[in-house]
Amino acid sequence: MYKKIMVPLDGSDLAECVLPHVETVAMGCEVKNVTFVRAVEPLHLPSASEWLPSPEERQRIESGHRSDAQDYLTELVGRLKYGGADLQS
């Protein structure tokens, strides 16, 4: 029935409540690929902010957020086993 599943997560415990359900569907439907994603918002600053980062600083901060999200997904994939499905982040 399903060949691929994409699972959006935000890093919260509430979002991870979906994982047992994903496992059930993945194993029951013999899913070949499960992809976990986490969106990272760009840095938003109030218009009246006293601190305005340089473009380099802004890029460093946003890069850190992306790295944190990828680390979270890598750790998550490392602890999950969904039958023979290929788990990706």
Residue 89: pLDDT over 90: no
- The tokens describing 34, both together, are 């499960």
Condensed to tens digits (0 to 9), the pLDDT of residues 19-61 reads: 999 999 998 998 999 999 998 888 777 766 677 778 898 899 8
Question: 12 or 44, which is more confident?
Answer: 12
Instruction: Please list the alpha-helical segments (H only) found in the chain.
Output: 13-16, 19-28, 55-79
Residue 80 has pLDDT above 80, yes or no: yes
Enclosing domain of residue 16: 4-88
CATH code, domain carrying 81: 3.40.50.620
The total number of structural domains that make up the chain: 1
Whole-prediction pTM value? 0.79
